[in-house]
Chain A
Amino acid sequence: MSKPSFVYVTYIRATPEKVWEALTKADLTEKYWFGYRVSAEGKPGDFMTALSPAGMQAHRDPILESDPPRRLAYAWKPLYKDLPNERPSRVTFELEPSKGQTKLTVTHDEFDESSKILEMIGKGWPGVLSSLKSFLETGRGLEPSWGEDERKRAAQA
């Protein structure tokens, strides 16, 4: 049996440098990550932080690996009180260049067996990463007006 994990691959017409910037700079994530300001520009040992559109701190997660513009990993634990209390999981972004484009692989793993959060993030990531691709290719992310349920899940991702 494979360990519980979520893997999503998307191909984006942008360079790895641009994709890296979009994943780590709060001024950019705000435009496609449904208003969240996600900052992950630090070195291992620094923190990835995420602020909700209402200004609430949603994440303060240790950065585990940072090799711009190839590989970024952080421990992942949302600070929302109403989520199941599970141990931190791990998010890894791998960026591979290909003819001026990027293959982006997001792996979210190290979950507890029978994790409830795994189910939630599996519904959240496709929305966030679809929006990221639209943002980089068209200049505009997806509107947060898409399905309310998906929006809540994306907020958790």
Chain B
Amino acid sequence: MTDTSKFKPKTVYVTYIVSTPEKVWQALTDPVFTRQYFFGFAVDVEPKVGGAFRLLGPDGRVHVRGEIVAWDPPRRFASTWLVEGMKGYGELPECMVDYEIERSGEAVKLTMMESHSWDVPEAILKGGQTGWPKILSSLKSVLETGKPVAMKMEGPPPEITEAVQKALAEKPWLK
């Protein structure tokens, strides 16, 4: 079982959705939903703490692989992430993605926290900071209107690729 005490939140995104905690939970854990808003990826979970977590591309290829570290429907879902589908990323230390769901009046407050166990460079964090607003804006639209916001995933810009290569060469997490 992964030791999560060494992970610190680096990127946090909060959105309020007119929905119920149960529906938000389903949207995060059901592949029929994630395909609509998560750049076409299908989530695949073994629904228990210690179970496997995967995000699969339309061709079935594994994009993200991890382990579920919190499974408390419909309140908290957290897993580790190893981004195998992007060159170099799979060799970085895994991060943790944590979703918290709370009722807030007639809406639901969804908090996403991306946490890291090492002093990850800003340039590498930029990837998530670009992607999460797209994913979570689209999730909100799917739940409120039945339709996603149309957008595609962009490959990492050169400065992120360089930062990943530099991190892989220096392996600061081993120090």
Contacts and interface: CB of A to CB of B under 8 A. Distances in A.
B71 interface: no
Residue of A10, A99, A144 with highest tally of chain B CB at under 10 A: A10
Residue of A11, A143, A150 with highest tally of chain B CB at under 10 A: A11
Interface string B101-112: 000111101000
Contacts of B106: 142-143, 145-146
A11 B15 contact: no
A92 interface: no
Nearest to B106: A143
Chain A contact residues: helix, strand, loop or mixed: mixed
Interface residues of B, number: 24
A12 B16 contact: no
A114 interface: no
A146 B104 contact: yes
Contacts of B151: 11, 98, 101
Contact of A150 (B18, B104, B137, B150): B104
Contacts of A11: 133-134, 137-138, 149, 151
Contacts of B23: none
A130 B17 CA distance: 7
B87 interface: no
Interface stretch (A48-56, A66-74, A75-83, A132-140): A132-140
Nearest to B15: A130
Contacts of A130: 15-17, 107, 140
B147 interface: yes
Chain B contact residues: helix, strand, loop or mixed: mixed
Interface string B3-16: 00000000001111
A137 B145 CA distance: 7
A102 to B, nearest CB: 10
Interface range for A = 20 to 34
Residue of B15, B149, B150 with highest tally of chain A CB at under 10 A: B149
By Cβ-Cβ distance, the 8 closest A-B pairs, closest first, are: A146-B105, A9-B133, A130-B16, A11-B137, A126-B14, A145-B105, A146-B104, A147-B104
Given A12-B137, A130-B107, A134-B144, 20 more contacts: A11-B133, A11-B151, A13-B149, A98-B151, A99-B150, A101-B149, A101-B151, A126-B13, A126-B14, A126-B16, A130-B15, A130-B140, A131-B16, A134-B140, A137-B144, A138-B18, A140-B18, A144-B105, A146-B109, A150-B104
30 contacts: A10-B15, A11-B151, A12-B149, A13-B149, A99-B150, A101-B149, A101-B151, A126-B13, A126-B14, A130-B17, A130-B107, A130-B140, A133-B140, A133-B141, A134-B144, A140-B18, A142-B16, A142-B18, A142-B106, A143-B105, A143-B106, A143-B107, A144-B105, A145-B106, A146-B107, A146-B109, A147-B104, A147-B109, A150-B104, A150-B109
Interface of A: 2, 8-13, 98-99, 101, 126-127, 130-131, 133-134, 137-138, 140, 142-147, 150
